[in-house]
Every structure is written in structure tokens, then in C-alpha cells.
Structure 1
Amino acid sequence: MDPVITNYIGYAASFFIVLSFALKDIRKIRIINFIGCALFVIYGIFSNYLWPIIIPNGILCFIQVYHLIKKT
């Protein structure tokens, strides 16, 4: 993938993670944080498999989905 697009995915991921800290509603926090983590997984894959980025963010994606499903 084009490195410029990969960088934009990384910037978007960072934006969503930071945005999740500015929210008060836990459901919105989990949704926005999930989007950021998923984008970081995509960014890690497109950046030649950066496992230190992929693994923790992948785990966090599952945790966010678990809590979103459990709450509803």
C-alpha cells in the first residue's frame, strides 16, 4: 500500500484513540476506542507487520467488543 495512505490510517487511529479519552459516555468511549484500535491493527499490517502495534490493539478490539456486547 502507498506509504502516504498508511500514514493517514495511523493518524486517523491516533485521532480516534485520543478522542475516546475526551468522551464521558462509556458506550461511546468503547466504540470510538474500538475504531482507533482497529485502525492501528490495519496500520500495523500495512507497515510490514509491526507486531508490537498489531497484538495489543487486536486484543483491545476484542475487549471493547466483549464489553459492548455484554452491556446490551
Structure 2
Amino acid sequence: MEFNLTEIIGYLASLFVLLSFFNKNLRKLRIVNSVGCGFFVAYGFMLGSIPVIVTNVAILGVNAYYLFVKKEDIRPKEELEKK
């Protein structure tokens, strides 16, 4: 089985989005998810797929908002109760 660069980028994108949901820490989840979305944007450009590009740019924007603009304490409730 032979993979081309487009397929590899697509698989990496899917892997990072999947891995993001294994994080309990929302900050880590958003960072890993953003990497996956970045790969999906590249994948969308490689395919010429506007819906893939637009959707993942929007998700990147949401993640960026919560990571950089709205820097609230997003640790799990259990961590906050330990303090």
C-alpha cells in the first residue's frame, strides 16, 4: 500500500483531532485539536475542498479565542477543588 503526501496529511489531521479528545485538560485539548485543524486546512488546500478549509479555519479561530483571548481557568473541576 502506497501513500501520497495528501493522504498522509489527512491521516495526521484525523489522528491529532482524535488524540485531542483524550485530554482532560481543556487547554491541552484545544492545542492538540488546533494542530489537527491546521493539518486539515492544509489537507483541504491540497484537495481544493473549500468546506474542509472553511470549517477547520473556523474551529482554529474558536480554539485561538479560548487559548489567547479568553484566558479563563479551564482546568478540570477536580483540580480546582484540590486547592
TM-score using structure 1 length: 0.90
Q: Does 1:4 align with 2:14?
A: no
SS at match of 1:23: coil
Query: Is 1:60 aligned with 2:59?
Result: yes
* Bigger fraction of residues in helix: 1
Q: CA deviation at 1:13?
A: 0.2
- State the distance in 2 between where 1:68 and 1:20 align: 14
In structure 1, the residue matched to 2:43 is 43
The gaps in structure 2 that reach 5 residues or longer are 73-83
Q: Secondary structure at the match of 2:27?
A: helix
Please, what is the CA RMSD of the aligned residues? 1.3
Q: List, as ranges, runs of 4+ consecutive aligned residues in structure 1 with deviation greater than 3 Å.
A: none
Whole-Å separation in 2 of the counterparts to 1:66 and 1:9: 25
Greater Rg by CA: 2
Percent sequence identity over matched residues? 42
Question: 1:71 Cα deviation (Å)?
Answer: 1.1
| 2:4 aligned counterpart, secondary structure | helix
Count residues with an aligned counterpart: 69
Q: Shift of the alpha carbon at 1:59? A: 0.3
* Separation (CA, whole Å) in 2 of partners of 1:44 and 1:51: 7
Q: Which amino acid aligns with 1:36?
A: G
